[in-house]
């Protein structure tokens, strides 16, 4: 596992304590946009960066993970689950790099949950509905990322300002809920 950022937190929250970072800022695992350079910048600044392995380009994933070797801050790797089903070896490649978390989006987390949890990595699940959140929680999600209509426009019509409180009520105090997208 990569080591936590060493500076003292400015704002201690359940999320910062769980992720081992001083700032409650997460870089989403945006496919091919969240590359090693951006992940390292966010993590080294005290946030938590996720590498965007999304659609499953094995050569890209290996190259970007190599660039993260020795990173000062903690980092994770993110996948789109329906794509990961087609290339399950990508999860093994990612876990071999010992990320402290794996982000799963857009689908069933069940086929991957046990491998992620057994590795010691946290499982971060991006969800768009309460049903998706329940399924993620049943499979051991450590963090829920609430993705409303404003966060990327991925086909959902419900806004974040309605979704986030519903997921906080559902998850209770045991699992942090993060609002996806910029909140102004």
Q: Say if 40 falls within a structural domain.
A: yes
pLDDT tens across 97-156, in order?
999 999 999 889 999 999 999 999 999 999 999 999 999 999 999 999 999 877 765 667
What is the distance between the terminal CA atoms of the chain, rounded to a whole angstrom?
A: 33
Q: Domains in the chain: how many in total?
A: 1
Range of the domain at 125: 14-179
Residue 5 in tokens: 């950022």
Would you state the pLDDT for residue 154? 62
Structure-block tokens of residue 90: 């990508």
44 touches 70 (CB < 8 A)? no
Confidence band for 5, pLDDT divided at 50, 70 and 90: very low
Q: Hey, which residues does 77 pair with through a beta bridge? A: 51, 102
Asked if the model's pLDDT at residue 33 lies above 70, the reply is yes
The Cα 159–Cα 149 span in angstroms is 5
pLDDT tens digits for 56-112?
Answer: 789 999 999 999 988 767 899 999 999 999 999 999 999 999 999 999 998 899 999
**How many CB atoms lie under 10 A from the CB of residue 156?**
17
| Structural domain contains residue 125 | yes
**Residue 95: which CATH number?**
3.20.20.70
4 belongs to a structural domain: no
Predicted local distance difference test score (pLDDT) of residue 8: 55
């Amino acid at each position: 596992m990569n080591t936590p950022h060493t500076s003292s937190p400015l704002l201690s929250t359940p999320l910062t304590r769980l992720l081992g970072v001083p700032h409650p800022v997460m870089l989403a695992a945006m496919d091919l946009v969240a590359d090693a350079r951006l992940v390292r910048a966010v993590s080294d600044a005290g946030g938590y960066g996720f590498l965007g392995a999304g659609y499953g380009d094995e050569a890209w994933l290996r190259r970007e993970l190599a660039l993260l070797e020795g990173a000062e801050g903690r980092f994770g790797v993110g996948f789109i689950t329906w794509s990961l089903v087609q290339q399950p070896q990508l999860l093994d490649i990612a876990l071999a790099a010992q990320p402290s978390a794996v982000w799963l989006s857009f689908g069933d987390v069940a086929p991957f949950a046990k491998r992620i949890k057994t590795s010691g990595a946290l499982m971060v699940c991006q969800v768009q509905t309460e049903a998706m959140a329940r399924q993620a929680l049943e499979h051991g999600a450590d963090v829920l990322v609430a993705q409303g209509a404003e966060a990327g426009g991925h086909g959902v019509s419900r806004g974040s300002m309605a979704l986030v409180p519903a997921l906080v009520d559902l998850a209770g105090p045991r699992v942090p809920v993060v609002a996806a997208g910029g909140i102004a």
